[in-house]
Amino acid sequence: MARAELIITSKINNGGIRKKLWDLYNAVFAGQEKISVQNQKCYTEETFQAALLDEEYIKFYLILDDEVVAYMLATNNLQKAAVTYMNPERYRELFPEYAAANKIYYFTSLGVHPEQQKQKLFYQIISAGFRRIAELRGMYAFDFSQESVANLAGMFIRIAHRLHQEGLLPEMKYVKVGAQEFGAIAPTHPQS
């Protein structure tokens, strides 16, 4: 039987775990540059390692049989969350009561090993994030690529609803903060 362990921490001192998380990050985002119009790999190895050591990030990771199979990073430092290309001022404007209390937690990176049962692991890691941030009396913010995970917002909504029904979260509502569309105008018949 598989042995699973969920870790929630503010700092990852273990270099071996940090290396496994970096390897997982690379595996999760491998090939994204060919399917997502916006770069999904917002961390370099140096900035990712720094985030894993930075106590302003909450780190969630799931170990299954000694392998890291899922992770999530969250921070309420919106300037640091901007690594994901989000605009901190927009969130401060939309949610002033949470911004004033420094309670907007942004999920900057989320991943599940490509060879694992994604739905179950996504649920475990996301629900852990939601529960922890509820304990901190915060709100959750995120972004995602529709090309790579078209239903991530729906998944977050379903998980929050289920946790609310179980009495683990307050009642929630989804707020679409914005959207950005990329396009191009190209000749119908390319010239050679």
Q: Could you tell me if residue 181 is inside a domain?
A: no
Q: Could you tell me if residue 26 is inside a domain?
A: yes
When divided into structural domains, the chain yields a total of 1
Q: Could you tell me if residue 137 is inside a domain?
A: yes
Q: What angle do CA 67, 68, 71 make, to 5 degrees?
A: 170
Range of the domain at 99: 4-165
Residue-level pLDDT at 147: 57
Q: Could you tell me if residue 191 is inside a domain?
A: no
Residue-level pLDDT at 121: 86
Q: What is the pTM of this model?
A: 0.87
Q: Could you tell me if residue 178 is inside a domain?
A: no
Q: Could you tell me if residue 176 is inside a domain?
A: no
Q: Could you tell me if residue 183 is inside a domain?
A: no
Residue-level pLDDT at 111: 87
CATH code of the domain covering residue 33: 3.40.630.30
pLDDT per residue rounded down to tens, the chain (192 residues):
567 799 999 999 999 999 999 999 999 877 666 666 565 678 899 999 999 999 999 999 999 988 999 999 999 999 999 998 889 999 999 999 999 999 999 999 998 888 776 778 888 999 999 999 999 999 999 877 655 566 777 888 899 999 999 999 999 898 888 877 767 788 888 777
Residue-level pLDDT at 143: 78
CB 54 within 8 A of CB 74: no
CB 133 within 8 A of CB 168: no
